[in-house]
Structure 1
Amino acid sequence: MKLIRDFVVLLSCLMVGKGMAALLPFAFPGSILGLLLLFFLLSTQLLPLSWIHDGGQLILRHMALLFIPVAVGLLGYTDLLSDGLGLIISSALSGLVLILLVVGRLYQRMLS
């Protein structure tokens, strides 16, 4: 019964986020708004962590299974992916380096 409550709370945040996204005059992912809502509720302690802990742990434990359909779907686009492989790799590496530099710089500023 506890897992059902956990999933209902998580799905409620997702559905409210999707509803908010539908009301916005610009495109924004509803799932991100739902996560921000969940973060707000947890950080203000309006929603106790115990209400979503077990359900969240279950989802995280089986996260790899949730990505299998995405990986299988990508197999249909191997020709397109192989054409842009260099661009994909260079974008990923440059993004990683940029993130590391920004986070490192922010951390240095926080220490001084």
Structure 2
Amino acid sequence: MLGFAILLFFYLLGSLLQTVCDLPLPANVIGLILFTVALFAKWVKLEWVEDASQFLVRHMLLLFAPIVVGTMAFFHVIGDQAFVILANLFLSTFGVLLVTGWTVKGLSRSDRKEANKTHDAR
């Protein structure tokens, strides 16, 4: 129960900060950022939330059921915009793949240059 209480605390803290500070991020994202900071700062121990998080991950499909039902309520709108939605899906996926590939290629080049400098220094 402690794990759920900690996770709920960070969600509510994110919700409070989002409302009070009028931040453009969703409350759950703010809470997740704060939770990650707390984990790295060792204010929260992983053992405290591990069981609760494993439970939530195992039952994640149930958490998405309301979204799927809501999507079915707007199926006619999705059908009307199907081409635009599919085009955006493919273009954004292709864009992410390109940027990721270029990033890895650039980082591997810089690693090779660094290794060559180290090797030449010997």
TM-score (normalised: structure 2): 0.84
Offset, 1:25: 3.9
DSSP-derived class of the 1:38 partner: helix
* Residue equivalent to 1:105: 102
Q: Does 1:40 align with 2:37?
A: yes
Question: Following superposition of structure 1 onto structure 2, how do residues 61-100 of structure 1 map, counting pairs within 5 Å?
Answer: 61-100=58-97
Aligned partners of 2:17 and 2:23 also within 8 Å: no
* Residue equivalent to 1:53: 50
Offset, 1:93: 1.0
- In structure 1, how many angstroms separate the alpha carbons of the residues matched to 2:88 and 2:25? 23
The runs of 5 or more residues in structure 2 that have no matched partner are: 110-122
Offset, 1:103: 1.4
- Structure showing greater relative contact order (alpha-carbon pairs closer than 8 Å, 6 or more residues apart): 1
The runs of 5 or more residues in structure 1 that have no matched partner are: none
Aligned partners of 2:15 and 2:27 also within 8 Å: yes
Q: Which runs of 4+ in 1 moved over 4 A?
A: none
Offset, 1:26: 4.4
Name which one, 1 or 2, has greater alpha-carbon Rg. 2
What do the CA deviations read for 1:42-69 (whole angstroms, capped 9, x no partner)?
1222211111111000000000111111
- In structure 2, how many angstroms separate the alpha carbons of the residues matched to 1:64 and 1:44? 31
TM-score (normalised: structure 1): 0.91
What do the CA deviations read for 1:9-31 (whole angstroms, capped 9, x no partner)?
00001011111111224432111
Identity of aligned residues (%): 26
- In structure 2, how many angstroms separate the alpha carbons of the residues matched to 1:30 and 1:91? 26
Q: Does 1:24 align with 2:21?
A: yes
- In structure 2, how many angstroms separate the alpha carbons of the residues matched to 1:44 and 1:97? 36
- In structure 1, how many angstroms separate the alpha carbons of the residues matched to 2:71 and 2:94? 26
